[in-house]
Amino acid sequence: MKKFFLMVFCIMFGLFISGCSSGSTKQTNTDAMRQTEKSSTSSENQDEVSRQIFAMDTYMTVTAYGSAAQEAVDKAANEIERLDALLSTGDELSEIAQINQNGGGTLSSDTSYLVERSMELYEDTDGAFDITIYPIMEAWGFTSGNYTIPSEETLQSLLSLTDSSQIKFNKETSTISFEKEGMKIDLGGIAKGYTSARIMDIYRECGIESGIVNLGGNVQVFGTKEDGSQWRVAIQSPEEDGSYLGVLSTQDRAVITSGGYERYFEEDGNTYHHIIDPSTGHPAENGLISVTIISADGTLADGLSTSLFVMGKDKAVEYWNAHSDEFDMILLTEEKTLYVTEGIASQFRSELEFQIIEKGE
Ligand code: ADP
Ligand code: MG
């Protein structure tokens, strides 16, 4: 069993490089985090406050600049812990676990918002994004770490529970119930993007003008760097050598990547990863290795990174064509062809050749 915390896409050159080792194991990453902590406390930049947190099964770094930075970072850390406790399927006391156990219930405002957004994504993506995937996640052992390949029979029977159209959700009363017994939901495909979006709200409320969060590879930047220049976000490569696909210059954006290489297990020479195609119950194998979504909306970026990975390149391009005002994307195919949509092409630098996807293609 291998579990890589390939979390890091955010090499802010110089400043953030030490927190951004990739392809490392849990242990090595802990060391990297300690180093970052050391370097940030000894940082020459007096305005910078940075904090590392382990939550949502990954390492997170929140950083803010300016006189309110300490307050903003502390509030951000509290928010991460609050949302983790609310949304973690593995914690039987969490709201989501209780809903799953009871087959429904009343949702808090955060969860209600996330269920609503997830149902919208389910509709918009033709079912590629489906939070009722949880029983399938359990069957593969992704929820417990006891990985196993389920029989086709098991998957077929669980697929009848994988259907977000069978969720009864009432926005006015924030209540949810499931049409079929045994249905369970999992907000893991969207929770980190929502968390980074919430941190951006906190930064705004605190009067911060410059900040960045890296939630296990899900990066969201607030404003510009302190000197007014754009953030430089490295897009991680699936290779385990710490290389990256390129660097995106950006501001006020979430940059969120989904890849089959992030969490997987190996059996009999095959790899099985944690992004499931709801139409088959198997790990999605539709020709993409990595999908990065760039959007001002962190929740959307996270939901779409999972969805478009499931869709595969052609459907992803079609989807982008219909929603190009909401997001841009970077795709890497199994043939190692790199595609970048036109909205960000001029801000993307790479040593690799890449093709620009233009509208209407
Ligand atoms: P990560 O959480 O590793 O950054 P993703 O954002 O792609 O990666 O989310 C993967 C998680 O989303 C899985 O661990 C699972 O909880 C959930 N998930 C898997 N497949 C789907 C799917 N088709 N639709 C919605 N959620 C999914
Ligand atoms: Mg996602």
Task: Return the pLDDT at 239.
Answer: 80
DSSP 3-state of 293: strand
What pTM, to 2 d.p., does this model score?
A: 0.89
Residues with a CB atom less than 6 Å from ligand 1: 129-131, 133, 137, 186, 188-189, 192, 218, 258, 262-263, 274-276, 278, 302, 305-306, 310
The answer to whether residue 242 scores a pLDDT higher than 70 is yes
The closest-lying atom of ligand 1 relative to the alpha carbon of residue 128 is: 23
Task: Return the pLDDT at 264.
Answer: 86
Task: Return the pLDDT at 157.
Answer: 97
Tell me which residue has tokens 């812990």: 81
Nearest Cα residue to 298 out of 204, 228, 201, 178:
201
How many C-alpha atoms does 51 have within 13 Å on its Cβ side? 17
The answer to whether residue 297 scores a pLDDT higher than 60 is yes
CA–centroid distance, residue 258 to ligand 1 (Å): 8
Task: Return the pLDDT at 6.
Answer: 31
Mean pLDDT, residues 70-97:
96
